[in-house]
Amino acid sequence: MQQVQDTPEEWRVVATTTPFTGNKTSVRTDDVVMPDGSVVRRDYQVHPGSVAVLALDEQDRVVVLRQYRHPVRQKLWEIPAGLLDVPGENPLHAAQRELYEEAHVKAEDWRVLADVYTTPGGCDEAVRIFLARDLAEAEGERFEVAEEEADMELARVPLADLVRKVLAGELHNNCLVVGVLSLAAARAGEGLDALRPAEAPWPARPFES
């Protein structure tokens, strides 16, 4: 029986250019050799990677926020998330920072919920989604927000309601959808204690402890 598991592989690139470099991401064009020997051009976004946090409180509610996303012209309900701004940054530390900055919340129990590539056909972004439990309000003043985050709304929504809304097509944010359904699947399977530890290796974005 064939093993169903993603594996590393890198086809030969005979030329590469970077036609656009932005503040956080860039666009790369590679000429890639196909198995039949032909060469095709592939354009894709180069991304530093991200983390997201499904924070679950003692009442089985998930911390969510509503934020304007200009590319899709919608306000989306999401879970706290952010970029890995520093190469080699520990994703757990980044997730703890994002939970504090966006929700002013801290958590005692952290697990890895899922690792995903958001759009592997056109972007190399990798996201690690954490499960955070044993929540408490963070100490000190709230993080000062700006731009889209200045209009952000916060809420705590029962997990069961989020699952229903995802399946009804009412919620669309990638990290929220994957996180909510992964949590529901973990509970129905081996349980949350079987999830990977927060410092589990992440080959897509290697990090220092």
Supply angle C-alpha 68, 73, 77, rounded to 5. 40
Is 149 marked active-site? Answer: yes
User: What's the pLDDT score for residue 149?
Assistant: 61
| Selected catalytic residue, list 9, 149, 170, 199 | 149
User: What's the pLDDT score for residue 86?
Assistant: 84
Separation between Cα atoms, residue 47 and residue 190, nearest integer Å: 33
Sequence spans of domains, the chain: 13-46, 50-197
Indicate the Cα dihedral angle 195, 200, 202, 206, nearest 10°.
Answer: 160
Instruction: Tell me the mean pLDDT per 10 residues along the chain, length 209.
Output: 90 97 94 97 96 98 96 97 90 96 96 97 97 93 61 94 98 98 97 96 90
Note the pTM of the prediction, 2 decimals.
0.93
Separation between Cα atoms, residue 47 and residue 9, nearest integer Å: 19
Separation between Cα atoms, residue 62 and residue 48, nearest integer Å: 26
CATH topology for the 50-197 domain: Nucleoside Triphosphate Pyrophosphohydrolase (3.90.79)
DSSP secondary structure letter of residue 14: E
